Amino acid sequence: MLLWINGPFGGGKTQTAYEIQRRLPGSVVCDPEHAGFGLRRMLPPELRGDFQDLTSWRQGVVEVLDLALTKHDGVVIAPMTVTDSGYFAETVGRLGELGHDVRHFTLLAQRETVLGRLRERGFGHLLRFMGGKNAGLGRETWAVQQLDHCLERLREPEFAEHLWTDDSTVPKTADRIAVLAGLRLRPNNEGALRTRLRQARIGAKHIRFD
C-alpha cells in the first residue's frame, strides 16, 4: 500500500509521515522531494525552477515508488505536495494504474494555522535569527509565497480525501489516516516533551536552503 500525504508546504505532511512510520512496523518513508532537489542541484542556478516541471522527476518518482511498492514488504509513505492536476495524474494516478493500492490524503488547515506552523519550523527560527527579532517569514520563503495557491487548489475534490488539521495533533492525524486506510498503528505512548524533541529533529533534517 502507498500512503501519499499531500497538503500545503508547512501543513504537516512530513511529520505525519514519520509519525506513521514510527508506529507502523515494516513501513518506510520514501520522500519524492529528495529526487526533486537532486535534479534541481544538477542545474545551473539560473535554470533552477520548480522541479515538478521536470518530466524526469515525475517519471522517476513513479519508477522508484513502483519499485519500492513491488519489492518492499510493507507500507510505503510518500509526503509530497502536488497541486497540478496533470502532474497528480502522472504520479499518484499512474501508480494506481500500475495496480498498486494507493491511498491519497490531503492535510488542510486555515491559512493562519499553516503560517503559525511555518514560523515554528526550523527555517523560521533561522530567518528570525539572521534578520532580527522582527524578521517575519513573508516573502523570504517560497513556502509562504505558495500558500494561497496550495490551499485553493488542494480544496478541489480531485485531491480528496481531505483531512482538516487545525485542531489536530500530528499523532491524532496519523491515527485518522490509519483508520481510513484500514491500518493499525502501535499506541502512541510517547510523552509530550519527547514528541516535541523528535519532531524538532525531523524538521531540522528537512530544512532546505536551495
Q: What is the pLDDT of residues 142-157, one digit of tens each?
A: 788 889 999 999 999 9
Grid cell of 124 as nine digits: 523560521
pLDDT band at 33 (very low <50, low <70, confident <90, very high): very high
CB distance 62 to 94 below 8 Å? yes
Grid cell of 178 as nine digits: 490509519
Is residue 27 one of the residues assigned to a domain? yes
CATH of the domain at 162: 3.40.50.300
Is residue 46 one of the residues assigned to a domain? yes
Cα separation, 163 vs 146, whole angstroms: 20
| Closest listed residue to residue 103, CA positions, set 35, 4, 193 | 4
Total tally of structural domains belonging to the chain: 1
Residue 207 pLDDT > 90: no
| Closest listed residue to residue 49, CA positions, set 40, 38, 36 | 40
Grid cell of 112 as nine digits: 493562519
Residue 137 pLDDT > 60: no
Is residue 128 one of the residues assigned to a domain? yes
Cα separation, 125 vs 205, whole angstroms: 14
Q: Provide the residue range defining the domain that includes 93.
A: 2-205
Cα separation, 210 vs 207, whole angstroms: 10
Is residue 95 one of the residues assigned to a domain? yes
Is residue 135 one of the residues assigned to a domain? yes
* 3 strand-pairing partners: 77, 103
Give SS3 for 14. helix
pLDDT digits (tens, 9 = 90+) for 108-124: 999 999 998 888 765 44
Grid cell of 200 as nine digits: 524538532
Is residue 210 one of the residues assigned to a domain? no
- DSSP-derived letter for residue 166 is T
Is residue 201 one of the residues assigned to a domain? yes
Is residue 69 one of the residues assigned to a domain? yes
Distance of CA 186 to the CA centre of its chain: 22
pTM exceeding the 0.75 threshold for the entire prediction: yes
CB distance 79 to 205 below 8 Å? no
- Identify the H or E element spanning 37: helix 32-42
